[in-house]
Amino acid sequence: MENEIYQNVVEALVKYLPKGWEKVDMYAEVSECHCNAKFFAMINGEYIYSMDLKEKYGIEVKYLCKDLLQILRPDQQEKNWFAMFFYLKNTGEFNVEYDYEEPEDKIAYRGDWIMSHREANTKAEKKE
């Protein structure tokens, strides 16, 4: 069942990526009727934040959460996780991590993930 969930996440995510993507790091929160998902995709060697895909590639990601809510809600309810971190390479290799503790300030928590990811991606780009 778990592999089917992950396969469905991959299929949902890939619909929102342009050709040339290399890897994706996604953050997702899912509850009874809410989803919040953000991701960074490496596309042609450049990290792109999910909210910037429309401007750069004409890809609208606003329906990703609708897809993920349907896929992840049963898993979230069963395992009671707060956030999922899904790391996917274009080879099909992936890794999943969960955070089970709900933070007091969810907005700051999301912001910290985004900022730390931007910093890590910037450092990775400088090394290459």
Q: What is the pLDDT of residues 45-69, one digit of tens each?
A: 888 999 999 999 999 998 899 999 9
Which tens digit of pLDDT belongs to each residue from 71-81? 999 999 999 99
pLDDT above 90 (res 89): yes
- Work out whether the CA dihedral 87, 33, 102, 48 comes out positive or negative: positive
What's the pLDDT score for residue 40? 93
* Domains, the chain, ordered by start: 2-127 (3.30.500.20)
pTM of the predicted model as reported, rounded to 2 decimal places: 0.86
pLDDT above 90 (res 1): no
Distance (Å, whole) CA 28 – CA 17: 17
Which tens digit of pLDDT belongs to each residue from 8-19? 999 999 999 998
